[in-house]
Chain A
Amino acid sequence: MNGPSIIHLWSINHKNAPTEVREKAHIDPVAAVKLMDCLDEDPRCVSVIPVSTCNRTEVFLETPDGVDPVEPLCEGLEAAGLDPAVFLGNHALRLEGLQAVAHLFRVAAGLESMMLGEPQIAAQIKDAYRLARKHHEPGPGILRAFQGAFRAGKRVRTETKITNGAVSVAFAAVELARKFFARLSDHQALLVGAGETGALAARHFLQHSIGHLTVVNRSFDKAEELARTLNAEYQVARAKQDGPLLAAGKAVVTARPWDELGAAMAQADVILSTTGALEPVILPDMVQAAVKTRRGNPLFLLDIAVPRDIHPDVAEIGGAFTFGLDDLDEIIAGNLQARKGQIPHAERIINEEIVEFQKWLADVDLRPTVAEFRAYLEDLKDKQVGFVRKKESDEVAAAVDRSLKQFIKKVLGQSVSTLKSEESPEVREQDLAALRRMFIPQGDPSRPRPNPAGSEQDH
């Protein structure tokens, strides 16, 4: 990467480091702030943004070109209570310049994620970026790289189908249920078992607006406890989404005792079974009875217990559709395959965004001078408009203000266009020097200071 500064990256992720190394490299928000505070004061650094999730820790450090970044990084990591050896060891991926920026774009697009295309990583990068901006002003290069990454990620998610299809067991269960029922909100689910796996699946069904969920467990207390927890989570989620809350006394999740399993099955459209029982607990005669009450409506049964909860003969009952973990794995494998097919399209988008970044980089030397020139012209305009306002009406002053704004826009547009068209760096530097000499006297304390990042928008 050419220009006044360079971006360095140290990445410890699921591809190159085992869990214990990733755990050591994890940078929590408190440590991240310490790292940023330490490096912010270091003249060898422009800025730093650490990104840390359960599968990766990435440190993006912008330094002036030619500066060795390892020493300030180590000092910063030590100040943050982290072990620099983890970042300098064999498990760390070390990139710099455009390669580092391209890696950031790929991470933001979910191309580097364990679950290809998963969208949470974009939100995690945004959180890291917001934290960084809250504590210090990132350098223009790193700022532009992160903004480009958000754009690249958004484009990849909207222009390709890389996020389509479930790639987790719980979501695959919902996807499968949706092949039976158009709107889950019109249907009821039954969760047999109150363990962690069942709770996770139940949460996914609640997130996808299942109409009602009944929990049946051998221990009724445990079923009631899970129902209470899920109801509370549901209310919090609804409040976050500004959705209508449940009326007092109403619950989307209820518990029923074990001896009412048959009756609960007769009312359910979706049955999720996740008990730890050693023998099947859902037997053919129970399913037969449930199917009879349904007048042909399909009954969706999902057995995610090991060993299986649903008796194998249930699969022979017409109207009862039984699925297991193997089926969900097959769906996930198919979806992952489809997502992989989207990688070339996603790569094209990443390359386009890299080209955009390169274009920005090519003009980066113009920005401070152009920003100062703009500030100078606007200062002149404000003085002139103030002078007119004293002698003429506000309407006239406003008209002059509008007119001068247009004038500044045209002058700046023409100047930038001329500077950009100059291919020789020496001539361009001479032009910039001339512009600075004529319009931007050094050391004028009355001069307004422009934003060094130019007109970049915050995301």
Chain B
Amino acid sequence: MLVALSFFKVLLPLLYLVVWGLYLWLFIGDSSVARRLCSRVAGITVLIHLSAMVVRAMELRRLPMGNNLEFFSALALATLATYLVIEFRQRGRSGGVKNTGVLVTGVAFLFEFTADAFIINNAPDNPLLKDPGFAGHAVLVLFSYTALSLSFIFALLYLLLSRQLMNRHFGLLFRRLPSLETLEKMSVGAVKLSIPLMLGALILGHLWMYDLADRLPPDLAAKLSPWDPKVLISWVIFLGYSLGLAGYRFLGWRGRRMNMLAVIAFVVTFTTMGLVHHFFPSFHKFQGHLAVWDLPVLEQTQAPALVEEVSR
């Protein structure tokens, strides 16, 4: 297993680099070879990365998102996989869909390179990471927010192309990017992916929270509240994006304003999350590690039975 992990540690950043290189080659040189290969190689990379995650989870016997670097690797996988889904759904609609991949795969490569360059297997053995409820919740959150990030990127590309057209600049972006309509559909498509994932994450999070509360002493259970600011703001984000989607679907919201809204929504989402995280008390906090919940009370063995149970 350790040999396999070491192998993946070398292979994965190389694969992500190749994927990025292909998308870059396609964007700069409009190469037909790159056009033919990029999605296939990206798909293979996702499958190999998924296998690496499974091997890592089996080896460590926990969700492989135990520290910042592991989280970055998971983020790279989520970014590439979500992008491929969106690209696949828009294939054949308009030329240039694949040309949007250069930004996304570049970001994915940076995440994976950072993760594999510095990763060490000494993440704290937090019992939460062994809990299937938490694992499902965390994975759904990861994918839903990744999809929102992609929606932001596509909306940004829409605004860039729109501006170029308005200013009559017929440069590289004009030649390479797909139509405004396609970019809008890609942005909305990403939100459409995100909404059910986010709903799943919220529901699973609530169910898991109640399940955990049942197993904790009353004073600790009281800390797990559905009125926690972070949980509340997540519901607000979910409702906000759902409303935007309804406006697109039923009220015909389109164009520059809709994409501006998508950019603003994303910026507001992450700013609000940051503010809530730093300025409001929450049980739902990260401390030092992006993906490891810090429930110090659990660590202090005030609930030894639970710790023992989840550890087993």
A residues touching B (Cβ–Cβ < 8 Å)?
161, 164-165, 178-183, 294-298, 318-319, 321, 323, 327, 330-331, 334, 338
Would you call B13 an interface residue if the criterion is a C-beta within 8 Å of the partner chain's C-beta atoms?
no
Report the Cα distance A178→B223, complex, angstroms. 55
A23 to chain B, nearest CB (A): 36
Query: Which residues of the partner chain A approach B179 to less than 8 Å between Cβ atoms?
Result: 178-182
Determine which of B94, B181, B185, B252 lies in contact with A295 in the assembled complex, contact meaning CB atoms within 8 Å.
Answer: B252
Instruction: Tell me how far the C-beta of B115 lies from the nearest C-beta in chain A, rounded to whole angstroms.
Output: 36
Chain A residues, CB < 8 A from B254: 294-297
The reply to whether A334 and B170 contact each other, CB–CB distance below 8 Å, is yes
> CA A296 – CA B188 in complex, angstroms?
15
Taking CB atoms and an 8 Å cut-off, the chain B residues in 161-201 that contact chain A are 161-162, 165-166, 168, 170, 174-175, 178-182, 185
| Pair B165/A321 contact, Cβ less than 8 Å | yes
CB distance from A302 to the nearest CB of B (A): 12
B180 pairs with A179, CB closer than 8 A: yes
Interchain CB contact under 8 A, A298 and B93: no
Report which of B93, B162, B256 forms a contact with A183, defined as CB distance below 8 A.
Answer: B93
Establish whether residues A181 and B30, one from each chain, have CB atoms under 8 Å apart when the complex forms: no
Cross-chain contact A298 with B180 (CB below 8 angstroms): yes
Report the Cα distance A296→B181, complex, angstroms.
12
Instruction: Kindly state the separation between the CA atoms of A161 and B179 in the bound complex, as whole angstroms.
Output: 20
Partner of B170, one of A161, A298, A330: A330
Q: B258: which of A161, A296, A334 is its contact (CB, 8 Å)?
A: A296
Is residue B251 contacting chain A, with contact meaning CB distance below 8 A? yes
B residues less than 8 Å from A183 (CB atoms):
93-94
A296 near B255: Cβ-Cβ < 8 Å: yes
- Taking A297-B255, A318-B256 as contacts, is the C-beta distance between A182 and B165 under 8 angstroms? no
Q: Are B170 and A182 in contact (CB under 8 A)?
A: no
Shortest C-beta distance, B173 to chain A (Å), equals: 10
Partner of A179, one of B30, B165, B257: B165
User: Chain A nearest CB: distance from B81 CB in Å?
Assistant: 24
Q: Is the beta-carbon distance between B170 and A327 smaller than 8 angstroms?
A: yes
Known contacts A179-B161, A298-B162, A331-B170: A319-B178 contact under CB 8 Å: no
Residue contact A182 to B255, C-beta cutoff 8 Å = no
Q: A178-B94, A181-B180 are in contact. List 16 more A-B contacts (CB 8 A).
A: A161-B30, A164-B30, A179-B161, A179-B165, A182-B178, A182-B181, A295-B252, A295-B254, A296-B253, A297-B252, A298-B180, A298-B255, A318-B256, A319-B255, A334-B175, A338-B175
What 1/0 flags go to B52-65 for Cβ under 8 Å of A? 00000000000000
Once bound together, how far apart are the Cα atoms of A282 and B138, in whole Å? 55
- Chain A residues lying within 8 Å of B94, measured Cβ to Cβ, are 178, 182-183
Write 11 A-B pairs (CB below 8 A) sorted by A numbering: A178-B179, A182-B93, A182-B181, A183-B94, A295-B252, A319-B255, A319-B256, A327-B168, A330-B168, A334-B175, A338-B175
The residues of B that contact A330 with a CB separation of less than 8 Å are 168, 170
Contacting residues, chain B, for A297 (C-beta < 8 A): 252, 254-255
The CA of A387 and the CA of B45, in the complex, are separated in Å by 64
From 122 to 165 in chain B, residues with beta carbon under 8 angstroms from any chain A beta carbon are: 161-162, 165
Contact A296 B162 (CB under 8 A): no
Residue of B nearest to A295 (CB): B252
Chain B residues within an 8 Å CB radius of A298: 162, 180, 255-256
Bound-state Cα–Cα, A319 to B259, Å: 13
Question: Which of A182, A295, A338 is close to B182, meaning CB atoms less than 8 Å apart?
Answer: A182
Q: Which residue of A lies closest to B182 (CB)?
A: A182
Query: In the complex, which residues of chain A have a beta carbon less than 8 angstroms from the beta carbon of B166?
Result: 321
